[in-house]
Amino acid sequence: MKTASPTFDYQLTEDGLTIETLLQDKWEVGKKTVHQLRMAKSIYDPTGAPADWRAPLEIGTVLRFTFPDAASTYVPEDPGALEVLWEDQHLLVAKKPAGIATHPDHSDGTGTFMNRVMCYIQHEGGKYAEHVQRLDKGTGGLIVVAKHPIAKGLLDRMMERNEVTRTYRAEVEGRLSRMRGSLKYPIGRDRHHPTRRRVSPNGQLAITHFHILERLENSTVIEAKLDTGRTHQIRVHFSHIGHPIKGDTLYGGTETEDGHYRLTAVKVSFGHPITKELLTIE
């Protein structure tokens, strides 16, 4: 199937903006990307001609952004039951099943969430898709995917600034005593294990907020939000306080019948990087 370069249209909501002001001041696009767009003459005015970057533009002017050299390398793989919960020309939010990785370890790898997304994108006629955050293989739930390089850059910066709220639901071993709280323990690598992390005084700052949803006989269902996004953060934090996630045998949880641990990314909230619309996807 022939695929098209990532493209989107944007209608100006302010009077007198130049393209340079829009990119650098309003969207805070990186200098490298701005330079590439300028050199490639990738922005067009309503007549279809390359736009004048210095000319002040009227409110309501529609600009077309193109990215002729932008393409993702994920091997497209039948998306099967890929569940896309929200989508526009800039990004999509889809559900990753537990038990598959977010992305392959090498360019020709398959069997991951992003292979399924790439098939979906190509079916729509696109060729660019990059995940904004990742979930552990055993964690299911929502992942935000950028559909062009500007969206990717803006969303990456929003993640760094903690402007994307991620909410998780987990079932942890035992009965938590506190109804709510915050876990503030730095996380670093476990030098005795290739993939495991641990609470370490020399680790990176990690903050997890939680509250109890339900107390079961031998476990507790909690909702958690992250101020930081360290590898295995929720898993490490609750293991550290003696309540590992049910099924998470790497961190001391008891094995479940299906082999998956009970952690799901259930909600994501953020201001749309382009339209500024407040989005909450559950």
The residue range of the domain holding 172 is 167-265
> In whole numbers, what is the pLDDT of the chain averaged over residues?
91
For this structure, is 108 an active site residue? no
Q: What is the DSSP string of 213-250?
A: EEE-SSEEEEEEEESS--TTHHHHHHHHTT-PBTT-GG
Q: Is the dihedral of CA 88, 158, 248, 172 positive or negative?
A: negative
Interval 213-230 mean pLDDT: 93
Residues 41 and 100 in one domain: no
> What are the Cα distances from residue 18, in Å, to 23, 36, 143?
9, 17, 33
Catalytic residue, from 136, 190, 227, 248: name it.
136
**pTM attached to this predicted model:** 0.88
Average pLDDT score over residue span 200-211: 95
pLDDT band at 233 (very low <50, low <70, confident <90, very high): very high
Please report whether residue 134 resides in a domain: yes
Total H helices, total E strands in the chain: 5, 15
**Residue 3 pLDDT level (bands cut at 50, 70, 90):** low
Q: What is the mean pLDDT of residues 2-25?
A: 84
Mean pLDDT (whole number) for 173-196: 93
pLDDT at 1: 44
Whether 266 has a pLDDT exceeding 90, the answer reads yes
Question: Count of domains in the chain?
Answer: 3
Q: How far apart are CA 260 and CA 137, in angstroms?
A: 9
Same domain, 156 and 171: no
Two tokens at 192?
């005795």
pLDDT of residue 4: 64
Co-location of 154 and 102 in the same domain: yes
Of the candidates 159, 160, 183, 161, the residue with the CA atom closest to the CA atom of residue 170: 183
